[in-house]
Amino acid sequence: MTRPVLALAVLLAATAPLLAQHAPKPLNLRCEYHADPLGVDTPAPRLSWQMPLISVQRGQAQTAYHILVATSTEQLAKNTGDLWDSGKVDSDQSLHIPYAGKPLSSRQLCYWKLKTWDQAGRASAWSDAASWTMGIIEPDQWHARWIGAPEAGLAAPQLRATFDLPSKPVRAIARICGLGLHELRLNGVKASDHLLAPAFTDYNKRALYITHDVTEHLRPGPNAIGVILGGGWYRLASRDFFGFEKAPWTGPPRLLLELELLLADGTRLFIASDETWKWSTGEIVFNCLRAGETIDARQLTPNWDTADYDDTGWSPVTVLPAPAGRLAAQQQPPIRAARRVRPAAITEPAPGVYVIDMGVTFAGHVRLTTRGRPGHTITLKHNEKLQADGFVDMKHLSSHTLDKRFQTEQFILAGTGVETFEPRFTYHGFRYVQIEGLANKPSLDDIQGVLVHNTPAPAGAFACSDPKLNRLQELIVHTQLCNLHSIPTDCPHREKMGWLQDGCVTQEAAICNLDMATFYAKWLHDILDAQDPGGHVPSIAPNSGWASAKPDGGPGRFADPWWATAISRTPWNLYIYYGDRRAVEQAYDGIKAYIDYLSVRSTRAYGSLGDWLEADTQNRAKRTPIPLTGIAAYQLATRQLSRMAAILGRTEDAQKYGTLADEIRASWIQRYVDETGVIVPDSQTAYALALELDLLSAHHRSTVAAQLTANIAQRRGHLSTGIIGTHYLPYALSNSGQVDLAFDVLTAEGQPGYFHMIDSGATALWEQWDGNNSLCHPTFGAVGAWFYQPWPGSTPIPPPRDSNGSSSDRTCRAASHGRRPTTTRCSAGSKAGGSARATHTPSS
């Protein structure tokens, strides 16, 4: 019998290379969530991939992987991992495998590929090669100096330098941090499509630099580099409610930039911001994120960013101190001009005053094309509502900008013919624009609405047979996007603030719809940076100091555990949905400090806001006692801490905080549930929290579910919940067997409810059920996550494709429901490799 076996073995050996050649290969290689990222500044970048498609189709799981990381494509092609050869590792993991090779240096370019094995022991082919480029690991490794033009005041200074190149570089990488905001230009053109960059942070803790590949913009011979600096949150021009104009980090805008050039002969050159640069003001004579921008076209300096420009009259820049925060690479999806809209209508409430209805409430700005006399000023006032007389209501939502000017652009004409104006360093939340000072009535073509926000790739899709529910889904996603401005904001106009509950309660819905991993990972840093030394977590992040703990350590303004527990709920969501263990590691000590803070401070720290925005209560939580929600949040976060301790292998903590969570749960039950299982007070939020956060003995669940049903019936099928309860309400119903009722509540006609917004013509979600205040608030969009639940009868639809056209490996779900949404289809889930699933986890 020996011979035939041997013969077979020889045959297999001979055909193996052939089979391997045609074997499928792992796909969608990602490093720190990105395809071929340019600025990775963690020493152990995490690598992720997806299994070969054919293996997935066969229902196969990965059983092993082999990663190679090399200094060159040539090494990689020879299957040599001169930086790291993981060898064959038995593992089903395909998410966030930390690099474990030779130490990496700043700016290093790393190439990688891998192969995997399936359950039958079949090896895949090697994947295509991918790469990542290291950022700057240590601050002293930057080749550049911080420079600026403090004399420019509230105008936006233009900074420039020129340089000669012997040949066109084969690779040119720009690393830039221009605070508060910057626009990078090379040889007369904008070098990237980012807007309002870099992201908002507590600049005393962290400032973000962006890495761009700018090879296409450079040429042999003379070149010019230019940067325009705006104030942003670093130097806010108007006084605001939160005191951001006097935040501890504030100062004149400043720039740090290095351009790393690789020539064909291997020479590496650096062009860097330093004292040799020159500056001058240009056409932006005033800029403020809240007030708006003034552009004086008479001060345009055409071609200032080209090598031929004569800058003899320009002044030398000032070398400025670095911001106190550490520099880190920006990873979140950029803010861009995401979409353009044509106005719906123009009216003229008074002669020469034109009111433009953009047809939709959104975040961004207007691009205006016009002509007129030199020095003539055109004013654009943006807001969400009209007064009865047809003018734009500029009082509405202006309460948090303390100086008079609010969401207002001024364009001063050069008078040179047709001129186009578009602000760079501001954005507004609005539907209507009132334009004053035009020589003639504008046409619809003269005005363009530009939606400006972070641009995460789509991650889920939802459709059903009920057009109004589809419309609600549209509003949820639209409102969410309009509130992504490097932090999750509460609204794009009045406050523009990173209120923790608004930004956290909407996370699951946002994650189901959009690829939010790097966005929330960044915001987690903001929350940790905002935490006070005693463990207190302010209700906004970044924080100017306005919401910090009192000098005696007591809770700061509007402190509330539902806002503060974003410190644990955010890393928990990152872990559950994206498998991001590092987020848990990073947040762990902060969460612990907050739980210990609550344990010591107890009642005083149980909250000041509670179920804010409950229906019919003029915002305040009246129906649901504030300690009821506060203690529930305390329990939830303590339970999460215990689970995270277990995930990190900290058994003692897991035990300790598990016991504490049990005690908090017991005290909640003692306070609010009587011995028959009845909850007092009669509040939908109280019932929903009890059911969803496991604040009940199992045998009392049906009693509380019945209380909830009775309450809804009493309210004729309407919800009455606020900023906390609304998210939990549909889960509480469906998890107690009342999917129909959950749909009924979400689709109830009349006030309060989502369909009331839709029937009233809402073009974004409202802040309040009655339509007062902001008309672009993401918060009630939290229910969007529930749409992705696997309801009976669901059928999957194909997962969405990312911007590279590649399909992501997502858990696809569809819900089909007997009456209203006869075919509700949805998909949601995790990023590359997807071991985490997008499902709501009760008690999480």
Interface ranges with ligand BGC (CB under 6 A):
490-491, 495, 499, 501-502, 558, 609, 612, 779
Measuring CA to CA, how many Å separate 324 from each of 204, 205, 395, 681? Answer: 5, 6, 37, 49
Q: What share of the chain is helix, strand, coil (3-state, %, to 5)?
A: 30, 25, 45
Least separation in angstroms between residue 349's CB and ligand BGC is 29
Please say whether the beta carbons of 776 and 493 come within 8 A.
yes
427 or 612, CB closer to ligand BGC?
A: 612
Handedness of CA 676, 681, 686, 687 (dihedral sign): positive
256 or 540, CB closer to ligand BGC?
A: 540
Measuring CA to CA, how many Å separate 8 from each of 122, 186, 388, 432? Answer: 17, 63, 88, 77
278 or 620, CB closer to ligand BGC?
A: 620
245 or 767, CB closer to ligand BGC?
A: 767
466 or 490, CB closer to ligand BGC?
A: 490
Q: What are φ and ψ of residue 120, in 5° steps?
A: -85, 5
Least separation in angstroms between residue 427's CB and ligand BGC is 17
Residue 752: name the closest of 764, 767, 770 by CA: 770
685 or 779, CB closer to ligand BGC?
A: 779
830: DSSP letter = -
Least separation in angstroms between residue 814's CB and ligand BGC is 32
Can you tell me the distance from the alpha carbon of 287 to that of 299, in angstroms, rounded to the nearest whole number? 15
**Angle at the Cα of 516 (from 426 to 451), degrees rounded to 5?**
30
Can you tell me the distance from the alpha carbon of 660 to that of 725, in angstroms, rounded to the nearest whole number? 24
Can you tell me the distance from the alpha carbon of 466 to that of 67, in angstroms, rounded to the nearest whole number? 48
Please say whether the beta carbons of 384 and 398 come within 8 A.
no
Assign residue 447 a region (left: φ > 0; alpha: ψ between -120 and 50; beta: otherwise): beta
177 or 559, CB closer to ligand BGC?
A: 559
33 or 499, CB closer to ligand BGC?
A: 499
304 or 754, CB closer to ligand BGC?
A: 754
Least separation in angstroms between residue 213's CB and ligand BGC is 38
For tokens 């062009």, name the residue: 271
Strand partners, 368: 421, 447
Least separation in angstroms between residue 562's CB and ligand BGC is 9
521 or 566, CB closer to ligand BGC?
A: 566
Residues 6 or more apart whose CB falls under 8 angstroms from that of 587 comprise 524, 527, 528, 567, 568, 570, 571, 644
Please say whether the beta carbons of 629 and 679 come within 8 A.
no
110 or 782, CB closer to ligand BGC?
A: 782
Please say whether the beta carbons of 402 and 240 come within 8 A.
yes
Q: Which H or E element spans position 380? A: strand 377-383
Assign residue 671 a region (left: φ > 0; alpha: ψ between -120 and 50; beta: otherwise): alpha
Least separation in angstroms between residue 536's CB and ligand BGC is 16
72 or 619, CB closer to ligand BGC?
A: 619
Least separation in angstroms between residue 834's CB and ligand BGC is 32
User: Other C-beta atoms within 10 Å of 761: how many?
Assistant: 6
Can you tell me the distance from the alpha carbon of 768 to that of 722, in angstroms, rounded to the nearest whole number? 9
Least separation in angstroms between residue 843's CB and ligand BGC is 24
Q: Is 623 helix (H, G, I), strand (E, B) or coil?
A: coil
Can you tell me the distance from the alpha carbon of 767 to that of 398, in angstroms, rounded to the nearest whole number? 15
Least separation in angstroms between residue 787's CB and ligand BGC is 22
Strand partners, 364: 428, 451
Least separation in angstroms between residue 110's CB and ligand BGC is 42
Residue 88: name the closest of 58, 126, 46, 61 by CA: 126
Query: Encoding tokens for residue 366?
Result: 């207007």
Least separation in angstroms between residue 599's CB and ligand BGC is 24
Half-sphere exposure of 273 (CA within 13 A, CB side): 29
* Amino acid letter, residue 236: L
Strand partners, 148: 318
For tokens 């923790």, name the residue: 500
Least separation in angstroms between residue 698's CB and ligand BGC is 33
Least separation in angstroms between residue 488's CB and ligand BGC is 11
Q: Could you write out the three-class secondary structure of 20-53? A: HHHCCCCEEEEECCECCCCCECCCCCEEEEECCH
Q: Which H or E element spans position 672? A: helix 651-672
Please say whether the beta carbons of 542 and 233 come within 8 A.
yes
126 or 754, CB closer to ligand BGC?
A: 754
505 or 686, CB closer to ligand BGC?
A: 505
Q: What are φ and ψ of residue 477, in 5° steps?
A: -70, -45
49 or 546, CB closer to ligand BGC?
A: 546
Least separation in angstroms between residue 527's CB and ligand BGC is 14
Q: Which H or E element spans position 687? A: helix 684-692
**Angle at the Cα of 372 (from 367 to 378), degrees rounded to 5?**
50
609 or 615, CB closer to ligand BGC?
A: 609
110 or 609, CB closer to ligand BGC?
A: 609
* Amino acid letter, residue 787: F
